[in-house]
Amino acid sequence: MSRPNAQSMKPATAAKKLDVYLPATPAEFQQNPITRGELAALQADPPQWLQDLRKNGPHPKNLVAAKLGVSIAGLARGGVTEALTTEQIDALLEEKPDWLVAERESYQEVLREQRRLKAVRAERSGQE
């Protein structure tokens, strides 16, 4: 799949850059190093398997957390340890279990505090 002298990356790294769950990718993708050129080609013109994975999942934890509006740690506290499909994510958003409501509130509070601290730092650096 790749030239021996071309700069390549492990499939796990390529999957992370493509925002897909590695175990859900085709075997050929999982078993071969990916060159930067191949990665760029996948990003520019995604094959059907990549389009399907991005649309339907299963999605990696970072995307699951983002779609649910919680942190990755919040997923773990809520008992979500596996990759979820878009359908499963939508079902959780519809059901609104108690853990999800609490984690979303907590995450929003963390984000508000981060924005406040960033503003304070910006104000301080502007006064110096």
- How many angstroms separate the CA atoms of 80 and 90, rounded? 14
Which conformational region is residue 82 in: left (phi greater than 0), alpha (psi within -120 to 50 degrees), or beta? Answer: beta
- pLDDT confidence of 125, banded at 50, 70, 90? confident
Number of residues that make up the chain: 128
Range 87-108 average pLDDT? 95
Residue-wise pLDDT for 98-119, tens only, equals 999 999 999 999 999 999 999 9
Range in 19-23, 92-96, 121-125 the model is least confident about: 121-125
3-state DSSP of 80-120: CCCCECHHHHHHHHHHCCHHHHHHHHHHHHHHHHHHHHHHH
What pLDDT was estimated at residue 3? 47
What pLDDT was estimated at residue 7? 86
End-to-end CA distance of the chain: 55
What pLDDT was estimated at residue 128? 63
Range 42-48 average pLDDT? 94
Mean pLDDT of the chain: 91
- How many angstroms separate the CA atoms of 27 and 31, rounded? 6
Dihedral sign, CA of 85, 86, 87, 92? positive
Residue 94's Cβ-count burial label (10 Å; 0-12, 13-18, 19+) is exposed
